[in-house]
């Protein structure tokens, strides 16, 4: 609605948005058909691409504007300094000047060769380009074929890493029988990603992403080779496993941001949506396949066989990545230091009490979610074998896939906070279900619901941020919210073992006060922990429903209003957002 901020009537808003969506759909259909079928001939007129320098929707315009050479041989670029996405509304004089200048020179340009120049609104000459092939003869171009090759290689690598992680975690628990040590292994698999993500993201913005991916795969392979040698020599110890898990996690922490950021280099812009969907689907597929196949492989070939498979997948991934060229195209760089980004995000959130409450709610949920997540493996092994465990763990990935598809088709509730609270209730019921009975059906159903609930909560939360936080500030707000919510995950992992083994297990022994509730036998202390985690999550849901700041969050926070000029200083942007919030709170704004 950024172009139609003066439209207040709800029926008129609905009408405007139907028109906008219909136009967008027809435009997408037209360009899709043209790219597939080709043009009978190119336009003889030159094409001028006009963008705002602050428009996040047209990032990479410095090179992406050349995609218009599909339609005409002469393409030039005009940039309106500081303008956002709606410069046609906010900077009409600058836009009119560009149009008039090009109309005045159009007859001259039509008679000149493709190398002619045209005046620019910025006062700088811009060479009209030749054909795309002539413009970049030495450079690899964005290509779906190259992206598919890289995506397949990374999918194979993810599955191999998942198999090894599954096998090593199983080895730790089967050899020690300690839930606390198993939880420690799980923390070591997660903590590097939390701690190193800022550094890894910064490097992915500044270094050759292809090289980062290859080096990360080689680092992970080094850990796996060491593990294989120790296995064959019969010298494998617990600390070797924990070290290998840490090395693999560090490699993944650097490899994933580089891979995700490389999408803009590998894929033509019009296919970004499809490419990002394939990346997400690949991650979800590996989440499902790794435990499902891993459970059967543990019984069939043991940890040695799994390690060999992992080495083969690493070799495939590295070979594929080395065999292709990444285009030397522009990419989005980190715009501010991580410290400034975090502090700015903190200031933005704490001044909005509803956002603070929502972040606290999600962080608390992550604590109970992490407790159950780490307990599911030893709990399932208390009454099933590794093959059963693989099927149970795969249910979580299935739930995430179902939730993602559901949200893609449905779009979520009209009030996003309602969708979040519904997801919290579903999460509480799912956590509770995990521990109800010593039967694989119950943890499988619980994990399925946990994956589905995670998709519901995350999607609705992102929708709130996108509506209430300016596009330029979303990075710092999301970074801060993610850091706060993830801080509770290691705490949940580390406290789950001692709580289940030393506090709750005695309560579930024969004659114990809670034996009648959860039954007796192996793993019932862990089952009791899952039930208590589910009850606590339901209590949090009740608190969120009762707390007015969360229920009325969307009404109390003003929608993001795109400004006429995009400020380079994000702190000034944040101050302007705070000013609009104060006006809305005091009734001075709409």
Q: Is the pLDDT of residue 537 over 90?
A: yes
CA gap 397, 295 in Å, rounded:
15
**Domain range 336-557, CATH architecture:** Up-down Bundle (1.20)
Supply angle C-alpha 408, 410, 415, rounded to 5: 110
CB 280 within 8 A of CB 458: no
Q: Is the pLDDT of residue 134 over 50?
A: no
pLDDT at 590: 40
End-to-end Cα spacing for the chain: 15
The CA-based dihedral angle spanning residues 569, 485, 423, 501, taken in that order and rounded to the nearest 10 degrees: 170
Q: Is the pLDDT of residue 133 over 60?
A: no
Show me where the domains of the chain are located.
39-135, 141-334, 336-557, 558-586
pLDDT at 534: 96
- Categorize the per-residue pLDDT at 372 as very low, low, confident or very high, splitting at 50, 70 and 90: very high
Instruction: Report whether CATH 1.20.1250.20 matches the domain 141-334.
Output: yes
pLDDT at 205: 67
Highest mean pLDDT: which of 132-136, 162-166, 268-272, 381-385? 381-385
Q: 227 has which bridge partners?
A: none
Instruction: Tell me the per-residue pLDDT of 64-99, one tens digit each, with 9 for 90 and over.
Output: 788 899 999 999 999 999 888 889 988 999 999 999
CA gap 289, 287 in Å, rounded:
6
Same-fold call for 141-334 versus 336-557:
yes
Q: Is the pLDDT of residue 5 over 90?
A: no
The dihedral region occupied by 569, where left means phi > 0, alpha psi between -120 and 50, and beta the remainder, is beta
pLDDT at 93: 93
Q: What is the DSSP string of 455-488?
A: HHHHHHHHHHHHHHS-GGGHHHHHHHHHHHHHTH
> Buried b vs exposed e over 209-243: b needs ≥16 C-beta within 10 Å?
bbebbbbbbebbbebbeebbebbeeeebeeebbbe
- Higher-confidence residue: 376 or 198? 376
pLDDT at 270: 63
Q: Is the pLDDT of residue 566 over 90?
A: no
Per-residue pLDDT, averaged over 283-304, amounts to 76
Give 141's DSSP letter.
P
CB atoms within 10 A of CB 124: 8
pLDDT at 42: 93
pLDDT at 367: 93
Supply the mean pLDDT for the chain. Answer: 81
Per-residue pLDDT, averaged over 488-507, amounts to 88
Q: Is the pLDDT of residue 433 over 90?
A: yes
pLDDT at 129: 37
Per-residue pLDDT, averaged over 469-478, amounts to 75
Choose among 304, 473, 269, 448: nearest CA to 376. Answer: 448
């Amino acid at each position: 609605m950024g172009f139609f901020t003066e439209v207040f009537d709800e029926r008129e808003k609905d009408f405007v948005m139907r028109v906008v969506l219909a136009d967008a759909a027809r435009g997408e259909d037209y360009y899709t058909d043209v790219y597939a079928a080709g043009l009978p001939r190119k336009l003889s007129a030159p094409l001028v691409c006009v963008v705002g320098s602050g428009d996040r929707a047209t990032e990479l315009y410095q090179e992406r504007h050349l995609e218009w050479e599909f339609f005409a041989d002469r393409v030039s670029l005009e940039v309106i300094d500081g303008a956002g996405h709606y410069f046609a509304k906010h900077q009409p004089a600058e836009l009119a000047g560009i149009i008039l200048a090009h109309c005045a020179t159009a007859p001259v340009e039509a008679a000149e060769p493709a190398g002619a120049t045209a005046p620019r609104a910025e006062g700088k000459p811009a060479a009209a380009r030749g054909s795309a092939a002539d413009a970049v003869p030495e450079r690899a171009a964005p290509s779906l074929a190259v992206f598919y090759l890289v995506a397949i290689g990374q999918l194979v690598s993810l599955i191999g890493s998942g198999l090894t992680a599954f096998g090593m975690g199983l080895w730790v628990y089967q050899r020690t029988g300690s839930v606390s040590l198993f939880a420690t292994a799980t923390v070591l698999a997660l903590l590097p990603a939390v701690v190193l993500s800022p550094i890894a993201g910064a490097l992915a913005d500044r270094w050759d992403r292809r090289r980062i991916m290859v080096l990360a795969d080689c680092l992970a392979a080094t850990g796996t080779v060491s593990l294989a040698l120790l296995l064959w020599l019969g010298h494998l110890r617990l600390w070797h496993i924990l070290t290998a898990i840490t090395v693999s996690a560090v490699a993944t922490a650097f490899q994933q941001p580089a891979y995700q950021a490389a999408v803009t280099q590998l894929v033509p812009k019009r296919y970004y949506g499809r490419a990002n969907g394939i990346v997400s689907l690949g991650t979800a597929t590996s989440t499902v396949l790794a435990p499902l196949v891993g459970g059967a492989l543990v019984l069939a070939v043991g940890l040695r066989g799994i390690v060999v498979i992992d080495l083969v997948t690493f070799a495939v991934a590295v070979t594929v990545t080395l065999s292709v060229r990444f285009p030397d195209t522009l990419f989005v760089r980190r715009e501010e230091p991580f410290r400034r980004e975090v502090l700015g995000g903190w200031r933005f959130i704490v001044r909005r009490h509803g956002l603070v409450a929502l972040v606290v709610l999600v962080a608390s949920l992550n604590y109970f979610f992490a407790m159950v997540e780490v307990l599911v493996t030893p709990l399932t092994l208390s009454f099933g074998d590794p093959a059963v465990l693989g099927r149970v763990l795969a249910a979580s990935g299935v739930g995430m896939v179902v939730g993602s598809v559901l949200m893609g088709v449905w779009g979520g509730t009209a009030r996003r906070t309602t969708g979040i609270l519904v997801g919290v209730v579903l999460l509480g019921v799912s956590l509770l279900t995990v521990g109800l009975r010593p039967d694989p059906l119950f943890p499988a159903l619980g994990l399925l619901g946990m994956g589905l609930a995670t998709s519901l909560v995350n999607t609705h939360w992102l929708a709130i941020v996108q509506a209430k936080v300016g596009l330029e500030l979303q990075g710092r707000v999301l970074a801060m919210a993610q850091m706060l919510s993830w801080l509770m995950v290691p705490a949940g992992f580390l406290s789950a073992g001692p709580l289940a083994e030393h506090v709750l297990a005695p309560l579930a022994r024969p004659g114990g006060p809670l034996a009648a509730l959860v039954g007796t036998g192996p793993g019932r202390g862990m089952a009791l922990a899952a039930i208590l985690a589910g009850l606590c999550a339901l209590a949090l849901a009740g608190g969120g429903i009762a707390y007015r700041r969360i229920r009325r969050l969307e009404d109390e926070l003003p929608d993001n209003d795109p400004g006429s000029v995009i400020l380079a200083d994000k702190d000034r942007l944040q101050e302007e957002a705070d000013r609009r919030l104060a006006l809305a709170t005091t009734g001075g704004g709409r």
